[in-house]
Amino acid sequence: MKVTSIPSLTVETNQGQQPTLPSYVEVELEDNMKAKFPVNWENVNATEIKKGETVELEGTVYQRDYPNPFIEQRADPYLYKHTDGYYYFTGSYPLYDRVVLRRAKTIDELPQAEEVIVWTKHESGILSEHIWAPELHYINGKWYLYVAGGDKDDVWAIRPYVFENSSANPLEGKWIEKGQINTSFQSFSLDATTFEHDGKRYLIWAQKVEEFSDNPISNLYIAEMENPWTIKEQHFLSTPDIPWEQYGFYVNEGPAVIKNDGKIFIAYSGSATDDRYSMGLLTADENSDLLNADSWSKSPEPVFVTSEATSEYGPGHNSFSVDEDGFDIFVYHARPYKEIEGNPLYDHNRHARMQRLFWQEDGTPYFGYPGEKVDFNNQKVKATIKVN
């Protein structure tokens, strides 16, 4: 993505006083998009400037860069910034046998932060196989983990479960199993996420419709929540009815919610978990009935797909967060190669990655392509300092 222009600024100050220069400036991007970026200004000593004079300054506009991959072998990544100032990170552990958490004051520190095992699978019965896609949420003063798990006697009997922790720090204290989420029918279910809107809490998850046994369909469902581990009536939300969602398997899964400009957006993933895995987008008006599938429109094309140019294959199962500047970011997983030997679920090089989420002129999100960078084309922001 290229920067098309950086508007100049005029800043006034009084003689003998240092000018107050903005920490962020808005730049114009391709496709009529605008976005703010941090800026480093040249030093200026206003005490040496006489009244009535003007001075021209330049500033270097930049984008925060994070390691790519961000954290290796952590599929289904989930990043959350809490009110305690810490970033919390989790994801599917390669052995699918535990839930791990790490935290740090900055995003840069997360890859080196200590990873703590907060829960380990059962030896038998429920939650004894395929511990997948944990998400960490803070609700009504307590921490909750939403995680999927199977049964050693039936490894594909995967269902969504909820754990609770009353500690201030979720890496400490005891996680209490609150049980399986009470979906209205029993089948392969996973990727539960929760969000609050207009005083109500909702749950969205993926669940297979088993009657299509030759090629089971994984739909998205939504429900209002009675409490963090109990849902009310289950409602259909989306089915994989577009060709890009049907490569290998018919899949809608991995929902993640973000709001902007009076709209609610659900990013989700579709198709088999190889290089064809991609992300789509559902959109609803914030004042609509979110439990009604007709309130949601689906983008006809995927919004985030494999990039041969950056060697990121099968991007998907994202989460949304904010960076240290308060800008929206999204975290996703992708492999560094296309060819996979055996079952993709056991190829563990789906690395966690992240990048900036931009907003288009119509208020919809712009994901770009995996590994995309902003090209400032050596342009700098210019400021005219007027001394009164």
Give catalytic residues, as residue numbers: 76, 253
Question: Which residues neighbour 321 within 8 Å (Cβ) at sequence distance 6 or greater?
Answer: 79, 80, 81, 87, 328, 329, 330, 331
CB distance 246 to 217 below 8 Å: no
Measured in degrees and rounded to the nearest 5, phi and psi for residue 185 equal -140, 155
Write a three-state SS string for 298-334: ECCCCCECCECCCCEEEEEEEEEEECCCCCEEEEEEE
List strand residue ranges (DSSP E) for 42-188, in order: 54-61, 75-81, 87-92, 98-104, 116-120, 129-139, 142-151, 154-165, 176-180
Residue with tokens 């659900």: 266
d(CA 76, CA 91): 5
Dist CA 324 CA 81 (whole Å): 9
Say if residues 322 and 333 touch (Cβ distance below 8 Å): no
